[in-house]
Structure 1
Amino acid sequence: MSRTNAPSTDTRTSNEFSKDGEAAADATAAEASGDQPSPLSLDEIFEVLKNQRRRHVIHHLKDIDDTQVALGDLAEHIAAEENDKSVNALSSGERKRVYVGLYQCHLPKMHDMGIVEFNQDRGIVALGPNVTQLEPYIDPETEDDGLEWHRYYLVLAIVGSSLLGMLQLWGGSAGVGSMLPLGLLVGALAGLSIYHTLYKSDELPAFLE
């Protein structure tokens, strides 16, 4: 007489099945999020691109043939750019200043935003998935033009100051009230010129240190 094998039963409880399902869902979500970089806001993009040293990092990583670069080599290249020297002509202080700034400040911030991948233990830097979101804003043909606004502000402030002086000379004390808006505008233009000049540079002037 033949025996019929009893169907095998899974001894796992309903709670275990539920946990397995949640784990699979989490893995799928993590995989999906890893494939698609999170979008950067305009404030975040500006936060990165307002700094010249960070722009140098992006340009250099896009220009090199390799997919990654050693932090020391990157720091030397940027130090040479900032000091308008060859790498061999750099002093140890110039190298160290850029290296420390990249290691402690710029690269960790860019890594957190997905713009670069920075392995601090190995000292290796590569482009991150979010760097493509910056490409419309870092066109080398237009970037330099965008950095010259401080000159226009300064010229307008000088012209406004001259006009203000002439109005005061001709109008005397009677025209003080009408000149107040122009004076405020001149002050604002001068402030914008200073603001853009400081943003363009990574180093504070000596009198502000």
Structure 2
Amino acid sequence: MSIHTLHSRYDPPASSEDTPTPGDQASEESTTSGDRPQTVPTGTDPPGTEDNSDTEAGYDLPLDQTFEILKNSRRRETIRYLKANGGETTLSEVAEHIAALENDTTVRAITSAQRKRVYVGLYQCHLPKMDDTDVIEFDQNRGTIELGPNAAQLDPYLEDSERRPWHKLYLSVAVLGGGLFVLGEAGGAQFGLTTSAVLLVLLVSITAAAVWHTFTLRQ
């Protein structure tokens, strides 16, 4: 056996001072990472600086929510009443106003049952739905209502227009049909006023009135 082989077998192990311990590695990594500057991606705000202005100023209402609010006459009338009274009112006042409109009378002449029917409907259904979309701010405990940050988005759909007495329109159509029927039975057949002709005129008139009514409500 050669002297070179003996020396290679009994070479002393490396000194522990030359081998880094796990603690030393962690220390070096933390030091290295601590010296490394942290960058923030372009166009983003640092943590804790989020902008909450959208929450305070409202948000854009989707069309389906807009039409959901406006499809009910009590909701539309509530918004109109708020706009006509400085943007705030009470549940009692708007309930009396709507009850008077629905019953074609004055606020003083409505009955307690008529007022209660509107009051309950507003309190349980319509006002909470409008409050959820920030169209109004409804305080159920105090009974106060104010225009919300999204109310202005409904303005294009709430342009004041002359109120059309639809019940009178349909009554006029019914009277017209009844009059033509009487004339037909009284001998108007010779002028073409047969029962079939009267019925046709009546159906066309009712259909035209219904289409006009539906189109007007969507404006």
When normalised by structure 2's length, the TM-score is 0.53
Aligned partner of 1:95: which letter? R
Aligned to 1:33: 54
State the shift of 1:34 in Å. Answer: 2.5
SS in 1 for 2:108: helix
The root-mean-square deviation of aligned C-alpha atoms, in Å, is: 3.4
Equivalent pairs: percent with the same residue? 44
State the shift of 1:193 in Å. Answer: 3.7
Choose from 87, 91, 106 the match for 2:111: 91
Deviations 1:7-62 (A, max 9, x none): xxxxxxx9xxxxxx74x33xx43x32223321111111111111111111000000
Aligned to 1:122: 142
- State the aligned residue count: 138
SS in 1 for 2:83: helix
Greater fraction of residues in helix = 1
Aligned to 1:102: 122
Deviations 1:62-118 (A, max 9, x none): 0013x4211111111111111111111111100000000000000000000111110
Aligned to 2:180: none
The whole-number CA distance in structure 1 between the counterparts of 2:55 and 2:68 is 23
Does 1:139 pair with 2:162? no
The whole-number CA distance in structure 1 between the counterparts of 2:107 and 2:55 is 37
- Structure 1: tracts of 5 or more residues without a match: 1-13, 15-20, 159-185, 201-209
The whole-number CA distance in structure 1 between the counterparts of 2:144 and 2:57 is 23
Aligned partner of 1:90: which letter? I
Aligned partner of 2:146: which letter? A
Aligned to 1:69: 89
Could you say which structure has the greater relative contact order, defined with CA pairs below 8 angstroms and 6 or more residues apart? 1
Equivalent runs, 1:180-191 vs 2, <5 Å? none
Larger of the two Rg values belongs to structure: 2
The whole-number CA distance in structure 2 between the counterparts of 1:95 and 1:77 is 9
When normalised by structure 1's length, the TM-score is 0.56
Distance 1:144 1:46, change over 3 A: farther
Choose from 51, 64, 67 the match for 1:43: 64
Aligned partner of 2:104: which letter? D
- Structure 2: tracts of 5 or more residues without a match: 1-33, 35-45, 178-202
The whole-number CA distance in structure 2 between the counterparts of 1:101 and 1:95 is 10
The whole-number CA distance in structure 2 between the counterparts of 1:144 and 1:107 is 23
Aligned to 2:75: 54
Deviations 1:157-200 (A, max 9, x none): x9xxxxxxxxxxxxxxxxxxxxxxxxxxx9xx96x949x67xx7
The whole-number CA distance in structure 2 between the counterparts of 1:48 and 1:127 is 14
State the shift of 1:144 in Å. Answer: 5.1
SS in 1 for 2:67: helix
Aligned to 1:80: 100
